[in-house]
Amino acid sequence: MGSSKNITWHQSTVKKRDRYLLNGHKSCVLWFTGLSGSGKSTLANAVDNALYQQNIRSYVLDGDNIRHGLNRDLSFGAEDRKENIRRIGEVAKLFVDSGLIVSSAFISPFLDDRQLVRNMFDPGEYIEIFLNCPINICEDRDPKGLYQKARKGEIPDFTGISSPYEVPNDPEIMIETNTMTLDQSVEKILGYLKERKIL
Protein backbone atom coordinates (compact mmCIF):
# COMPACT_ATOMS: atom_id res chain seq x y z
CA MET A 1 0.00 0.00 0.00
CA GLY A 2 1.12 3.54 -0.70
CA SER A 3 2.19 5.82 2.13
CA SER A 4 -0.83 8.09 1.53
CA LYS A 5 -3.15 5.58 3.24
CA ASN A 6 -2.98 4.93 6.94
CA ILE A 7 -5.46 2.05 6.84
CA THR A 8 -3.92 -1.38 6.48
CA TRP A 9 -6.08 -4.45 5.94
CA HIS A 10 -4.59 -7.77 7.02
CA GLN A 11 -6.00 -11.00 5.66
CA SER A 12 -7.11 -13.77 8.03
CA THR A 13 -8.37 -17.05 6.69
CA VAL A 14 -10.35 -19.78 8.46
CA LYS A 15 -8.79 -23.14 7.58
CA LYS A 16 -10.34 -26.57 7.16
CA ARG A 17 -8.95 -27.74 10.50
CA ASP A 18 -10.62 -24.76 12.21
CA ARG A 19 -13.94 -25.84 10.75
CA TYR A 20 -13.37 -29.40 12.03
CA LEU A 21 -13.04 -27.96 15.54
CA LEU A 22 -16.24 -25.94 15.23
CA ASN A 23 -18.24 -28.86 13.84
CA GLY A 24 -16.77 -31.60 16.03
CA HIS A 25 -16.13 -33.87 13.05
CA LYS A 26 -13.95 -34.08 9.96
CA SER A 27 -15.13 -33.62 6.39
CA CYS A 28 -15.05 -35.96 3.40
CA VAL A 29 -16.86 -36.82 0.19
CA LEU A 30 -19.04 -39.91 0.00
CA TRP A 31 -18.92 -40.71 -3.72
CA PHE A 32 -21.87 -42.98 -4.54
CA THR A 33 -21.50 -44.77 -7.88
CA GLY A 34 -23.69 -47.39 -9.55
CA LEU A 35 -26.26 -48.03 -12.24
CA SER A 36 -29.43 -46.01 -12.69
CA GLY A 37 -31.93 -47.45 -10.22
CA SER A 38 -29.28 -48.87 -7.89
CA GLY A 39 -30.41 -46.49 -5.13
CA LYS A 40 -27.67 -43.85 -5.07
CA SER A 41 -29.83 -40.80 -4.40
CA THR A 42 -32.06 -42.60 -1.91
CA LEU A 43 -29.11 -43.95 0.08
CA ALA A 44 -27.18 -40.65 -0.09
CA ASN A 45 -30.21 -38.82 1.30
CA ALA A 46 -30.75 -41.46 3.99
CA VAL A 47 -27.11 -41.12 5.11
CA ASP A 48 -27.47 -37.33 5.03
CA ASN A 49 -30.57 -37.57 7.19
CA ALA A 50 -28.87 -39.93 9.68
CA LEU A 51 -25.91 -37.54 9.92
CA TYR A 52 -28.27 -34.61 10.44
CA GLN A 53 -29.94 -36.47 13.32
CA GLN A 54 -26.50 -36.66 14.96
CA ASN A 55 -25.87 -32.90 14.51
CA ILE A 56 -23.31 -33.53 11.78
CA ARG A 57 -23.01 -30.97 8.98
CA SER A 58 -23.61 -32.58 5.62
CA TYR A 59 -25.07 -32.05 2.15
CA VAL A 60 -26.08 -34.05 -0.94
CA LEU A 61 -25.20 -33.27 -4.56
CA ASP A 62 -27.48 -35.10 -7.00
CA GLY A 63 -29.33 -34.64 -10.26
CA ASP A 64 -32.00 -32.52 -8.57
CA ASN A 65 -29.67 -29.69 -7.60
CA ILE A 66 -26.87 -30.03 -10.18
CA ARG A 67 -28.40 -30.83 -13.55
CA HIS A 68 -30.76 -27.84 -13.62
CA GLY A 69 -28.22 -25.53 -12.00
CA LEU A 70 -24.45 -25.63 -12.32
CA ASN A 71 -24.42 -28.20 -15.12
CA ARG A 72 -27.46 -27.06 -17.08
CA ASP A 73 -25.20 -26.14 -20.02
CA LEU A 74 -23.91 -29.71 -20.41
CA SER A 75 -25.30 -32.30 -22.83
CA PHE A 76 -25.18 -36.07 -22.37
CA GLY A 77 -22.41 -36.42 -24.97
CA ALA A 78 -19.13 -38.11 -24.02
CA GLU A 79 -17.11 -34.93 -23.45
CA ASP A 80 -19.83 -33.18 -21.47
CA ARG A 81 -20.38 -36.26 -19.29
CA LYS A 82 -16.72 -36.10 -18.34
CA GLU A 83 -17.03 -32.38 -17.60
CA ASN A 84 -20.17 -33.09 -15.56
CA ILE A 85 -18.22 -35.39 -13.23
CA ARG A 86 -15.20 -33.05 -13.07
CA ARG A 87 -17.36 -30.12 -11.95
CA ILE A 88 -19.16 -32.23 -9.36
CA GLY A 89 -15.77 -33.30 -8.03
CA GLU A 90 -14.61 -29.70 -7.81
CA VAL A 91 -17.79 -28.61 -6.01
CA ALA A 92 -17.46 -31.56 -3.62
CA LYS A 93 -13.91 -30.37 -2.90
CA LEU A 94 -15.22 -26.92 -1.94
CA PHE A 95 -17.75 -28.50 0.42
CA VAL A 96 -15.06 -30.68 2.00
CA ASP A 97 -12.94 -27.55 2.44
CA SER A 98 -15.91 -25.88 4.14
CA GLY A 99 -16.02 -28.70 6.71
CA LEU A 100 -19.07 -30.63 5.50
CA ILE A 101 -19.56 -34.30 4.74
CA VAL A 102 -20.78 -34.11 1.17
CA SER A 103 -22.44 -36.97 -0.69
CA SER A 104 -22.39 -37.19 -4.47
CA ALA A 105 -25.02 -39.37 -6.15
CA PHE A 106 -24.28 -39.76 -9.86
CA ILE A 107 -23.82 -42.89 -12.01
CA SER A 108 -20.20 -41.86 -12.78
CA PRO A 109 -19.63 -45.03 -14.84
CA PHE A 110 -16.01 -44.53 -15.88
CA LEU A 111 -12.92 -45.47 -13.87
CA ASP A 112 -10.89 -42.58 -15.32
CA ASP A 113 -13.43 -39.96 -14.29
CA ARG A 114 -13.68 -41.34 -10.76
CA GLN A 115 -9.89 -41.48 -10.51
CA LEU A 116 -9.70 -37.85 -11.60
CA VAL A 117 -12.04 -36.91 -8.76
CA ARG A 118 -10.19 -39.09 -6.24
CA ASN A 119 -6.96 -37.30 -7.14
CA MET A 120 -8.48 -33.93 -6.22
CA PHE A 121 -8.61 -34.94 -2.55
CA ASP A 122 -6.20 -35.62 0.30
CA PRO A 123 -5.79 -39.30 1.23
CA GLY A 124 -8.83 -40.58 3.14
CA GLU A 125 -11.09 -37.71 2.10
CA TYR A 126 -12.56 -39.45 -0.97
CA ILE A 127 -14.70 -42.43 -0.01
CA GLU A 128 -16.05 -44.39 -2.96
CA ILE A 129 -19.28 -46.28 -2.30
CA PHE A 130 -20.17 -48.81 -4.97
CA LEU A 131 -23.87 -49.64 -5.12
CA ASN A 132 -23.64 -53.15 -6.45
CA CYS A 133 -26.99 -54.26 -7.83
CA PRO A 134 -27.68 -56.61 -10.77
CA ILE A 135 -28.89 -54.71 -13.80
CA ASN A 136 -32.04 -56.83 -14.09
CA ILE A 137 -33.09 -55.66 -10.63
CA CYS A 138 -32.32 -52.02 -11.49
CA GLU A 139 -34.25 -52.42 -14.72
CA ASP A 140 -37.14 -54.01 -12.85
CA ARG A 141 -37.26 -51.04 -10.46
CA ASP A 142 -36.83 -48.46 -13.26
CA PRO A 143 -38.05 -45.58 -11.05
CA LYS A 144 -37.87 -43.01 -13.82
CA GLY A 145 -38.83 -45.28 -16.74
CA LEU A 146 -35.39 -44.74 -18.25
CA TYR A 147 -34.54 -48.39 -18.92
CA GLN A 148 -37.77 -48.79 -20.85
CA LYS A 149 -36.88 -45.78 -23.00
CA ALA A 150 -33.30 -47.02 -23.43
CA ARG A 151 -34.50 -50.45 -24.58
CA LYS A 152 -36.65 -48.72 -27.18
CA GLY A 153 -33.55 -46.87 -28.37
CA GLU A 154 -34.93 -43.52 -27.24
CA ILE A 155 -31.90 -42.78 -25.02
CA PRO A 156 -28.47 -43.16 -26.66
CA ASP A 157 -25.46 -44.31 -24.63
CA PHE A 158 -27.49 -45.45 -21.64
CA THR A 159 -25.27 -46.93 -18.94
CA GLY A 160 -25.69 -50.70 -18.66
CA ILE A 161 -27.63 -50.97 -21.95
CA SER A 162 -25.74 -49.19 -24.69
CA SER A 163 -22.80 -47.76 -22.71
CA PRO A 164 -20.55 -49.57 -20.22
CA TYR A 165 -20.50 -49.30 -16.44
CA GLU A 166 -16.93 -49.81 -15.27
CA VAL A 167 -17.09 -51.56 -11.90
CA PRO A 168 -14.85 -50.01 -9.21
CA ASN A 169 -11.69 -52.03 -8.59
CA ASP A 170 -11.28 -51.19 -4.96
CA PRO A 171 -14.13 -49.09 -3.55
CA GLU A 172 -13.88 -48.07 0.10
CA ILE A 173 -17.40 -49.44 0.68
CA MET A 174 -19.63 -51.82 -1.28
CA ILE A 175 -23.38 -51.98 -0.75
CA GLU A 176 -25.50 -54.72 -2.28
CA THR A 177 -28.70 -52.76 -2.56
CA ASN A 178 -30.82 -55.74 -3.60
CA THR A 179 -30.14 -57.71 -0.39
CA MET A 180 -29.44 -55.06 2.25
CA THR A 181 -32.10 -52.85 3.80
CA LEU A 182 -31.74 -49.11 3.70
CA ASP A 183 -31.05 -49.03 7.45
CA GLN A 184 -28.34 -51.67 7.15
CA SER A 185 -26.74 -49.74 4.30
CA VAL A 186 -26.76 -46.50 6.28
CA GLU A 187 -25.27 -48.26 9.29
CA LYS A 188 -22.47 -49.73 7.21
CA ILE A 189 -21.49 -46.29 5.94
CA LEU A 190 -21.74 -44.60 9.35
CA GLY A 191 -19.70 -47.45 10.82
CA TYR A 192 -16.97 -46.79 8.28
CA LEU A 193 -16.93 -43.07 9.11
CA LYS A 194 -16.61 -43.82 12.83
CA GLU A 195 -13.89 -46.40 12.23
CA ARG A 196 -11.92 -43.86 10.20
CA LYS A 197 -12.44 -41.24 12.91
CA ILE A 198 -14.21 -38.86 10.56
CA LEU A 199 -17.11 -38.79 13.05
Taking CA atoms, 92 is separated from 9, 12, 37, 177, in Å, by: 31, 24, 22, 24
Active site residue 3: no
Q: How far apart are CA 28 and CA 104, in angstroms?
A: 11
- In terms of CB distance, is 73 or 170 closer to its own copies? 73
Choosing from 27, 38, 108, 185, the catalytic residue is: 108
Which residues does 174 contact at the CB level (< 8 Å), separation at least 6? 129, 130, 132
Residue from 135, 178, 192, 199 binding its own copies (CB under 8 A)? 178
Q: Is 119 in the site for its own copies (CB under 8 A)?
A: no
Q: How far apart are the first and last CA of the chain?
A: 44
Contacting its own copies (CB under 8 A), which of 34, 99, 109, 168? Answer: 99
Nearest-5° Cα angle at 50, 46 to 53: 140
Backbone phi and psi for residue 54, each to the nearest 5 degrees, phi listed first: -100, 20
Contacts of 9 (CB under 8 A, 6+ apart): none
Closest approach, Cβ 187 to its own copies, in A, equals 14
Q: Give the total of residues touching its own copies (CB under 8 A).
A: 55
User: Least separation, in Å, of the C-beta of 80 and its own copies?
Assistant: 12
Contacts of 55 (CB under 8 A, 6+ apart): 24
Nearer to its own copies, 86 or 149 (CB): 86
Nearer to its own copies (CB atom), residue 181 or residue 197:
181
Number of DSSP helices (H) and strands (E) in the chain, helices first: 8, 5
Q: Please pick, from the candidates 74, 82, 87, 157, the single residue that binds its own copies as defined by CB under 8 A.
A: 87
Contact flag: residue 145 with its own copies (CB under 8 A): no
Number of Cβ within a 10 Å radius of residue 162: 12
Query: Which residues contact its own copies (rule: CB under 8 A)?
Result: 1-2, 4-5, 7, 9-14, 18-19, 22-23, 39, 41-43, 45-46, 48-49, 52, 55, 57-61, 65, 69-70, 73, 83, 87, 90-91, 93-95, 97-100, 120, 137, 140-141, 177-182
Instruction: Report, as residue numbers or ranges, the catalytic residues.
Output: 108
